[in-house]
Amino acid sequence: MSLDYLALANAGVEKLHPYQPGKPVAELERELGISNSVKLASNENPLGLSPKARAAIERSLPELARYPDANGFALKSALAGKLGVNTDQLVLGNGSNELIDLVFHTFVAAQQQVVFSQYTFIVYAMATQAHGAQAVEIPAKDFGHDLDAMAAAITDQTKLVCITNPNNPTGTFLTKAELAAFLAKVPRQVLVILDEAYTEYVAEDERHPSIDWLAQYPNLIVSRTFSKAYGLAGLRVGYMVAHPELISVLNRVREPFNCNSLGLAAAEAALNDEAYLSEVVELNRREMARYETFFEQLGLRYVTSRGNFITLDLQRNAAPVYEALLREGVIVRPIAGYGLPTCLRISIGLEHENQRCMDALAKILA
Ligand SMILES: *Cc1c(COP(=O)(O)O)cnc(C)c1O
């Protein structure tokens, strides 16, 4: 006996497809019977954990029989000090992905409109669909957000606008002037998530002062994560910064123990390891430049990126090149699911990993 489970599910679920993660190394090696493959597919930090984060995890092990601190007091205090905000302006999540979902659970009802760009983080489209809300996807401009068109698309039905800067999967970047002009146009009752998952990779003088903007825009929600530059993707810690009353509304819906003890402790330690962060950013800058030079030498098109990844446009179906790279033991990310079937996204790895990728690409494309 079976049931029509899809018919039982909530309205948006029928049209939803599971998130397609980057291919795990172990899976590729099992399938091809190879070893030594490299994964440059999920924008993970190639340097691994900061030694301080690792030590903090070890110190937390004896406490694992206890529930974590539901308020994340220590991490929030550290973040508040670093960002110059109050702890009541912060909410912590099981990755920022959970917090994006939390904003939807809390604020977005069926039929309401959510505005986001073509070629952006797919989680926005998924959450919109899951809530039976209406996606208003604005065609991209030069692989990135067209903020004028996004502002023009806001209607009385719009509840939320989602912006990713730097954008994933294309790496495009909106300047502070562009973003400030956009925020000034958004009506107060329309919430804006500004997803800054890659902000640590942006040179400080180019970064937009999003935390300062919070005082001016009570509808602004800044989203960040420990999964990328801080190297803690496996521990799932992200945070949002917003008006204290907005945070307090989110806290009504948030699961009390959404962040685990190891993640909380590791994130706090990682936040204070500035030497590690500088090393991460410097490696990324250096290796990004190497990819750009390599692509130029091969006459390949790419999108200039401010993230820890670079998107290559092969201007033909990229799937065969993706498959050929797999056979060379190099896992990159096809982004046909984002509407970019001619592109591959390559996460910036260690020097020798990037070299493997470049050598394999040169061989395949020769
Ligand atoms: C990787 C990424 C995130 C972070 O997800 P976590 O759940 O914090 O690991 C959020 N937004 C974008 C655009 C990303 O690329």
- CATH classification at residue 66: 3.40.640.10
Query: 267 with 279, same domain?
Result: no
Could you tell me if 108 and 161 are in contact, meaning their C-beta atoms sit under 8 angstroms apart?
no
Tens-of-pLDDT digits for all 366 residues of the chain? Answer: 789 988 899 888 888 988 888 889 999 899 988 888 999 999 999 999 999 999 999 999 999 999 999 999 999 999 999 999 999 999 999 999 999 999 999 999 999 999 999 999 999 999 999 999 999 999 999 999 999 999 999 999 999 999 999 999 999 999 999 999 999 999 999 999 999 999 999 999 999 999 999 999 999 999 999 999 999 999 999 999 999 999 999 999 999 999 999 999 999 999 999 999 999 999 999 999 999 999 999 999 999 999 999 999 999 999 999 999 999 999 999 999 999 999 999 999 999 999 999 999 999 999
Atom 15 (ligand 1) nearest CA: 168
Mapped onto helix, strand or coil, the DSSP state of residue 222 is strand
Query: Which residue, chain included where needed, has tokens 């402790």?
Result: 265
Where a domain ends, among 246, 272, 298? 272
Mapped onto helix, strand or coil, the DSSP state of residue 290 is helix
Q: Which residues pair with 301 in a beta bridge?
A: 313
Whole-number Å distance, alpha carbon 225 to ligand 1 midpoint, is 7
Contacts of residue 257, Cβ cutoff 8 Å, sequence gap at least 6:
67, 68, 70
Query: 176: phi > 0 → left, psi -120 to 50 → alpha, else beta; which?
Result: alpha
- Nearest residue to 86 via CA among 290, 243, 221: 243
Residues of the domain holding 359: 22-48+275-365
Q: pTM of the predicted model, to two decimals? A: 0.96
Which secondary structure element, helix H or strand E, spans residue 313, and what is its range?
strand 309-313
* Structural domain count of the chain: 2
Which atom of ligand 1 lies at the shortest distance from residue 164's CA? 13
Query: 265 with 283, same domain?
Result: no
Q: Which pLDDT value is given to residue 77? A: 98
The CA-atom distances, in angstroms, between 85 and each of 98, 199, 222, 300 are: 22, 17, 12, 44
Side-chain half-sphere CA neighbours of 116 within 13 A: 27
Contacts of residue 196, Cβ cutoff 8 Å, sequence gap at least 6:
165, 210, 222, 223, 224
User: In a mutational test of the pocket of ligand 1, which residue from 100, 165, 168 has the highest number of ligand atoms less than 8 Å from its CB?
Assistant: 168
Q: Which pLDDT value is given to residue 152? A: 98
Q: Which pLDDT value is given to residue 54? A: 98
Where a domain ends, among 226, 241, 272? 272
Query: 175 with 287, same domain?
Result: no
Where a domain ends, among 272, 304, 331? 272
DSSP string, 55-100: HHHHHHGGGTTSPP-TT-HHHHHHHHHHHT--GGGEEEESHHHHHH
- Spatial separation of the C-alpha atoms in residues 151 and 160, rounded to whole Å: 11
Residue 226: both structure tokens together: 């420990």
- Spatial separation of the C-alpha atoms in residues 201 and 309, rounded to whole Å: 10
Q: Which pLDDT value is given to residue 20? A: 83
Q: Which pLDDT value is given to residue 17? A: 86
Q: Which pLDDT value is given to residue 151? A: 98
Ligand 1 pocket by C-beta < 6 Å: which residues? 43, 95-97, 121, 164, 168, 195, 197, 225, 227-228, 233, 238
Q: How much of the chain is in helix, strand and coil states, percent to nearest 5?
A: 45, 15, 40
Q: Which pLDDT value is given to residue 84? A: 98
Query: 298 with 151, same domain?
Result: no
Atom 10 (ligand 1) nearest CA: 197
Q: Which pLDDT value is given to residue 18? A: 85
Q: Which pLDDT value is given to residue 260? A: 98
